[in-house]
Structures are given as C-alpha cells and as structure tokens.
C-alpha cells in the first residue's frame, strides 16, 4: 500500500480502479464503496486507487462553509489503509483544481495521472468547476477514453442514507451511540495530554486534558463513557466535554478520567472512543456535589460497558 501525492501516483499505477472523495469518517457508506472498488481492481487486474485531498474543497470554493472533520487527516488515512486499497493519493486542492471543468478533470487527473480504467463513485457524486459534472457526464466523457464509471446505491440506516453530514449532526447533539452505528465503530478523539488546572486531582478524580486538532469536531458538551487508549493499553474512562461551569470556566475542554490509574501521561498521545452519553454538563452548588456526581459517573461507566474494550475499539485502523 502506498500513500503519495498526485504527481507521484502515475509511476505506481498501471491500470487504475479509482474512487474520489474526502472520505471523512470512513463510515459504512464509504466502506461499501471501497469494497466495490477493490472488486473492480481485481476484475481489471489493476490497482485500487483512492483520490482524496489535503484540505476540504470548501476551503477554496466556500471558505465560509468549511465543516469540522469527523476524522483528522491521520485517522482518515489510517482507516483507508485498513480498508486494503493499493494506493492513496492525497492531492493538493487549490484554485487550479477547483477551476477544472468536468472534461479537464477526467482528462488530466483521472486518465493522465491515475490511469483510470474504471471510476467508482457514491450517490449524488459531483465534480468539476462549480460541481457542474455529475455521474452521467463522468460516464460519457470517460467512455471517450475507454474509462468505465460505476455508482453504488446509498447505504441506509434507519431508512436514511449514511453520510458524513448526518454523522456530524449526531455528534453536535451528543448522540455518540447513533454516530457509532453509522461509522461502524466509536467516534474517536485523539490528542496530546497537556497540563490543566489540577481540579480533577483535587477532587480525587485526576484527568488528562487533551490538546486536540482544532479542525476536528467535538461532541456536544456533556459527560460520556468511553474506551481510552493510553501507553499502548486500553482502559475504561469517563470523558467530560465542556466549559466546567461549576468553577466558572469559559473555554470548552476535553478531560479524560481513567479510574484506578495514576501514571504520568503528560506529553503522551491519548485516544478516546466515545461509547455512550451519561449526562449533560451541569453547574453544581459546590465542589463536593461535583465530586459526588463524578463518582456516580465512574460507577455507571464501569457497570454499563460490559464488552471488552478491545472489541469496542474495533479494527478500523484508527486504533
């Protein structure tokens, strides 16, 4: 498996079965598409190729509409690698690419650089300047170059299509269990542990404060049960997302408490797989009431998460 830029891809590909997109979240719909892609690569005796981008195209064409990502770039590439594709092309999406007509995109990118023999896309696929190209144009222009096009049907959950937009909406409402169903795994935040105020330790519940990618979405403010990867091991954990209203906090922070754990995590990377929402953030009358509630949160987490953590984290490539 190779990860490369667009200019380097040409030398790696002989006959490309290609798909295109951001693949944010690498959710169930994406995985269905990647399954078809690898089948097509075998059929044409070529390579399965993902064309994705270093930044969201909206940063160039609609900078006021750039969404927060479900996965960081590193998580996204790791999950795509785990899908078993041959080549991941991370192209620079700039104004020159944004200005390509549908024909120019097919001719220059798909045919010339990626040697596409077949292109597999999802429902509602659009491409080219101002999203002018659709699947019909992809198939029509591609046929001139001996390139076939295939579109998969949407993957449905609860009678609605699985999409990155739908998952972001769920996360913004704190619905991490529902989001996990569409992702096929828990939603994950990952960051380095930085020093906080020390409040958790004073309360008897030391926390690891995570410095996160600012471009990644965080779930709605609240307290969550989670699986936590730290120091190469997997633990149960309680995660607080919010501004700590009891002590007059203003900035949203993500703090992780691992019960019965007292090792040094400063400067270490910690991954959090959100399993369920325990409660809303709340302003308590004093710190004693806050400590009592945290104790209840820990007890509920340890009782409610019955499956082994390794199974809960899954094999998506994010862990």
Supply the pLDDT for residue 306: 58
pLDDT mean for each 10 residues of the chain (319 residues): 92 96 96 97 97 92 91 92 94 94 97 97 92 95 97 96 97 98 97 87 90 96 96 95 85 93 94 96 91 94 69 45
Residue 164 placed within a domain: no
Residue 201 placed within a domain: yes
| φ and ψ of 68, to 5 deg | -70, 145
Supply the pLDDT for residue 313: 45
Supply the pLDDT for residue 124: 87
Supply the pLDDT for residue 307: 56
Shared domain check, 29 and 142: yes
Give the residue ranges of DSSP H helices in 163-213.
164-172, 176-183, 199-203
Domain stops at, among 157, 190, 215: 157
pTM: 0.91
- CATH label of the domain that carries residue 241: 2.40.30.30
- CATH label of the domain that carries residue 38: 3.40.50.620
Supply the pLDDT for residue 316: 46
Shared domain check, 105 and 221: no
Residue 10 placed within a domain: yes
Bin 22: left if φ > 0, else alpha if -120 < ψ < 50, else beta.
Answer: alpha
Total number of domains constituting the chain: 2
Shared domain check, 185 and 146: no
Provide the residue range defining the domain that includes 116: 2-157
Residue 188 placed within a domain: yes
Secondary structure string (H, E, C) spanning 90-126: EECCCHHHHCCCHHHHHHHHHHHHCCEEEEEECCCCC
Shared domain check, 9 and 101: yes
Radius of gyration, alpha carbons of the chain: 22
Shared domain check, 150 and 13: yes
Residue 318 placed within a domain: no
Supply the pLDDT for residue 112: 95
Supply the pLDDT for residue 14: 96
| φ and ψ of 121, to 5 deg | -130, 165
Supply the pLDDT for residue 315: 44
């Amino acid at each position: 498996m190779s990860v490369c830029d667009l200019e380097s891809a040409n030398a790696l590909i002989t006959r490309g079965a290609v798909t295109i997109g951001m693949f944010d979240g690498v959710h169930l719909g994406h995985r269905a598409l990647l399954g078809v892609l690898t089948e097509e690569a075998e059929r044409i005796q070529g390579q399965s190729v993902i064309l994705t981008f270093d930044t969201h195209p909206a940063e160039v064409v609609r900078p006021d509409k750039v969404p927060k990502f479900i996965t960081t770039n590193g998580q996204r590439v790791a999950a795509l690698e785990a899908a078993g594709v041959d080549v991941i092309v991370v192209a620079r999406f700039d104004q020159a690419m944004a200005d390509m007509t549908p024909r120019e995109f097919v001719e220059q990118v798909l045919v010339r650089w990626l040697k596409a023999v077949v292109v597999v896309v999802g429902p509602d696929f659009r491409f080219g300047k101002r999203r002018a190209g659709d699947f019909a144009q992809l198939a029509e222009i591609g046929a001139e170059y001996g390139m076939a096009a295939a579109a998969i049907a949407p993957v449905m959950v609860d009678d609605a299509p699985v999409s990155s937009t739908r998952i972001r909406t769920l996360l913004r409402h704190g619905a991490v269990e529902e989001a996990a169903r569409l992702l096929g795994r828990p939603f994950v935040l990952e960051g380095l542990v930085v020093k906080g105020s020390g409040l958790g330790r004073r309360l008897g519940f030391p926390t690891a404060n995570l410095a996160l990618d600012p471009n990644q979405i965080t779930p709605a403010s609240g307290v969550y049960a989670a699986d936590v990867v730290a120091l190469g091991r997997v633990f149960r954990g309680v995660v607080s997302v919010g501004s700590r209203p009891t002590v007059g906090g203003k900035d949203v922070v993500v703090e992780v408490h691992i019960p019965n754990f007292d090792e040094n995590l400063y400067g270490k990377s910690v991954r959090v797989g959100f399993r369920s929402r325990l409660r809303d953030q709340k302003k308590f009358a004093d710190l004693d009431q806050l400590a009592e509630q945290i104790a209840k949160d820990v007890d509920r987490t340890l009782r409610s998460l019955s499956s082994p953590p390794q199974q809960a984290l899954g094999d998506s490539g994010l862990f």
